[in-house]
Structure 1
């Protein structure tokens, strides 16, 4: 009995997966039918336009070529409609089997269960869903029906449909992802002197492998590429991967897209955890501004809306981003007193990460670094063993210091308006850079005993954070050069 139930469960799982696969394929077939209609109409309109301008010479050929296009369209529509009908019937049959299997599995009657399970198993074995070929019998492209009208007028009688450009191949081994740019390189399987340009499409995704039927992000198009490579610059990597495909075009027609290639885009992406922010800090997305009246206004609202229910605590009311590490500050208030602090919402527990922060140099005080999630609500950045930071003091005399565990080291360097923060969790390295010049400002060398999060402080000022950045090549090479030496003060580690 138990074995039969387990076997039936496996059958249910197999049927459900097959149903989903068929549904996706039906969507593809319907889209192919639409594309055949649209592409056939387009090439026919283009062909008729060319014939109209050259009707004196081409009038005899026009009818035969239009007929050929219509025959090709009718043949493909016939094949696709038959295949669509077969798939639809198979899906209906499979859904009936799945419903029957689920009902049998949930039935409390045990007398006829064994026979019912055997009947269902036999039916599944003969189910048409498993005999279907989920490959379209006809292509939706009508590009091969285009004709080349660029030849001499006296050669028009020899016109043939223009050969479709061959499909390029993306060379994954030569593609590069670094410094928030992606260079895509491709080649043609055989030389083609008639290629005029290429069209590259790219799409962000969180899935490795080929594109799926339903993707969250649309294809972005880059046209008019003359070389067999292209570099996308100024990217912000807020997804794990990017998918690329490319096609070649001559003067009249475009070829088929290459097989999509998915490239990994490693970068650190996080948001600011507004539920951790001091009441005097106004957090909007990745920007923070000091608000001297924020604490008073929020205290008034708190008094007005105060209840005894723990459901009204800031930790519960904060809306967390999906796939973010939940805050461990459960049951605790946000930072308070003179700890004008806000934390990032994503923990760092491995690897190398990099982000940048632009701050107002007129701020009375500003700090950026990392902290443990257990940082106390009264703790100021750099004044406890749970935080490391670079601190700007602009109160009486402007200074830039590295702080940790209530110890500070003054840095003798120009104060930038944008700081890059590099964290190598595994090696216990936290480095700060001038984000524009990539000049190293200071390095902490320690051993992180717990995961850390980005941490920021501002008093009478503002700042904004830039995430989705890769570790710059200059930073990586500088870290390798400095691996044998330390720019940190031992008292600060």
Structure 2
């Protein structure tokens, strides 16, 4: 009895699910019927509008051509009537002279004959009939106004519904990802003169391969693209990949989207670890402001509350950590203190080539940017131990820009930039600093990293902000290749 009940329950569950599927499908069919009726009415109205527009063009063309015929007729009529009137008057004058000449010849009087003959001769010489052109000034032929619509008639008979454009194909080998831009190129199997433009859609993703049903990021749309390529600029690569798809559109309809293509958009992304920051540093994700009273306020708080309120311990932060992101090594009272004024990034570097930039207040009393090992002491200032490498700006007493490591410094003979770019090649043991605007090399450390390193920053009486999600600029990569056989660092600092 129990087995039969269990079997019946399974059958009931299966029927319930199937009924739900059929119900959903019926709703989908009803919606499709409604859409079909609405879409049919829309295309019917569009067709009526197109033919009305075409008839209007033909009527306008007809009116223009009829007007030209009337104008040509009026012009020629005027010319011919003017010439006819002149000829009639000349003929009338000529006939009068002819009558006078005949009367003079028939006259028997000899007196005055010579004078009459001379007057007639003079009148004939001046007669209009002898100054007339006996060629018509206008032709009666109007054949040049005839029209032949045979080709147009055949073309009109060839009018049909616009075909759905073919599906483009993105050429992955031709696509380029560099300098935080992505260039996408696509082709069609056959040329299509009816295509008006293309629509490109893209979205960020952390998954390689075709789009998933539930993606974290929405599709972004770029419309009205005329050529079969497009370049996205000014990007911040805060995901590992970008997925692209494109469709062709004519005046009436859009084709199907191409097969999605996923391009790797590798870039180094991190935030500043507020839990590691010195008490006098006010940290907000990627920016830091010196706070002269921060330490006094923090000393009042209990260690427990201070630790629990750290962003590193919030559930949201823990759930969003990437595989490379490591828990802070400085929770609570292990944060930097004394005169270190340091803050670390929340992501360690253990492989590959990475690049980031920092914009700082050149009026800061002191500022430093570089990398550090996890073993950097909470009292250590950047560059004053073997666990950190940095570029240091000093505005105290006398301004100077130096490269520091292991408590040794080298003064740099270059202008102080607004932004510093930091390039790290972990495997090659290269740490280079650039004028980020001009991409000019300022200094290079060459060493061997035996353990992961972390971006590190220091500021005293000033501010700075960090820009991450950047790829290694092409000019930096090419410059590194050129300098691969030469050293721009001070051997004593490595």
Instruction: Please confirm whether the aligned pair reaches a TM-score higher than 0.5, indicating the same fold.
Output: yes
1:44 aligned onto 2:36:
no
Deviation at 1:212, TM superposition (A): 0.5
Distance 1:201 1:177 in 2: 16
Deviation at 1:374, TM superposition (A): 1.4
CA contact 1:169–1:259 (8 Å) conserved in 2: yes
Deviation at 1:45, TM superposition (A): 3.9
Distance 1:489 1:52 in 2: 80
CA contact 2:274–2:310 (8 Å) conserved in 1: no
CA contact 1:313–1:331 (8 Å) conserved in 2: no
1:298 aligned onto 2:298:
yes
CA contact 1:419–1:432 (8 Å) conserved in 2: yes
1:476 aligned onto 2:477:
yes
Q: CA 1:338–1:56 in structure 2 vs 1: closer, same or farther (change >3 Å)?
A: closer
Distance 1:483 1:157 in 2: 70
CA contact 1:315–1:329 (8 Å) conserved in 2: no
CA contact 1:368–1:457 (8 Å) conserved in 2: yes
Q: CA 1:165–1:463 in structure 2 vs 1: closer, same or farther (change >3 Å)?
A: same
SS in structure 2 opposite 1:358? strand
Distance 2:34 2:355 in 1: 47
Q: CA 1:261–1:480 in structure 2 vs 1: closer, same or farther (change >3 Å)?
A: same
Q: CA 1:453–1:427 in structure 2 vs 1: closer, same or farther (change >3 Å)?
A: same
User: How much is the aligned-residue C-alpha RMSD, in angstroms?
Assistant: 3.0
SS in structure 2 opposite 1:483? helix
Once the two structures are superposed, the pairs formed by residues 315-334 of structure 1 within 5 Å of their partners are 317=313, 319-320=317-318, 321-323=320-322, 324-329=325-330, 332-334=333-335
Deviation at 1:310, TM superposition (A): 11
Query: Deviation per CA, 1:76-103, whole angstroms, max 9, x where unpaired?
Result: xxxxxxxxxxxxxxxxxxxxxxxxxxxx
Deviation at 1:315, TM superposition (A): 9.0
Distance 1:284 1:186 in 2: 42
1:432 aligned onto 2:433:
yes
Match of 2:221 in 1: 221
1:245 aligned onto 2:241:
no
Distance 1:446 1:41 in 2: 72
CA contact 1:57–1:156 (8 Å) conserved in 2: no
SS in structure 1 opposite 2:215? coil
Deviation at 1:329, TM superposition (A): 3.3
CA contact 1:375–1:387 (8 Å) conserved in 2: yes
Calculate the TM-score normalised by the size of structure 1: 0.70
Deviation at 1:450, TM superposition (A): 0.7
Distance 2:283 2:290 in 1: 9
Q: CA 1:257–1:300 in structure 2 vs 1: closer, same or farther (change >3 Å)?
A: same
Query: Deviation per CA, 1:258-299, whole angstroms, max 9, x where unpaired?
Result: 000000001000111100000110001201000101111111
Once the two structures are superposed, the pairs formed by residues 321-470 of structure 1 within 5 Å of their partners are 321-323=320-322, 324-329=325-330, 332-470=333-471
CA contact 1:315–1:331 (8 Å) conserved in 2: no
Q: CA 1:310–1:167 in structure 2 vs 1: closer, same or farther (change >3 Å)?
A: closer
Q: CA 1:31–1:343 in structure 2 vs 1: closer, same or farther (change >3 Å)?
A: farther
Match of 2:79 in 1: none
Match of 1:176 in 2: 176
Query: Deviation per CA, 1:25-81, whole angstroms, max 9, x where unpaired?
Result: 99x9899879956864563243132244368899xxxxxxxxxxxxxxxxxxxxxxx
Q: CA 1:34–1:362 in structure 2 vs 1: closer, same or farther (change >3 Å)?
A: farther
Once the two structures are superposed, the pairs formed by residues 190-205 of structure 1 within 5 Å of their partners are 190-205=190-205
SS in structure 1 opposite 2:334? coil
SS in structure 2 opposite 1:482? helix
Deviation at 1:248, TM superposition (A): 0.7
Q: CA 1:233–1:371 in structure 2 vs 1: closer, same or farther (change >3 Å)?
A: same
Calculate the TM-score normalised by the size of structure 2: 0.70
CA contact 1:314–1:333 (8 Å) conserved in 2: no
CA contact 1:168–1:187 (8 Å) conserved in 2: yes
Once the two structures are superposed, the pairs formed by residues 257-276 of structure 1 within 5 Å of their partners are 257-276=257-276
Match of 2:49 in 1: 53
SS in structure 2 opposite 1:396? coil
Once the two structures are superposed, the pairs formed by residues 105-254 of structure 1 within 5 Å of their partners are 159-254=159-254
CA contact 2:276–2:331 (8 Å) conserved in 1: no
Query: Deviation per CA, 1:350-403, whole angstroms, max 9, x where unpaired?
Result: 110000000011111100000011110000000010000000011112111000
Distance 2:491 2:192 in 1: 64
Distance 2:478 2:181 in 1: 17
CA contact 1:289–1:463 (8 Å) conserved in 2: yes
Distance 1:38 1:406 in 2: 77
Match of 1:92 in 2: none
Deviation at 1:328, TM superposition (A): 2.9
Query: Deviation per CA, 1:322-352, whole angstroms, max 9, x where unpaired?
Result: 2221123357521000010000001100110
Query: Structure 1: where are the runs of 5+ without partners?
Result: 1-21, 59-150
CA contact 2:275–2:330 (8 Å) conserved in 1: no
Match of 2:75 in 1: none
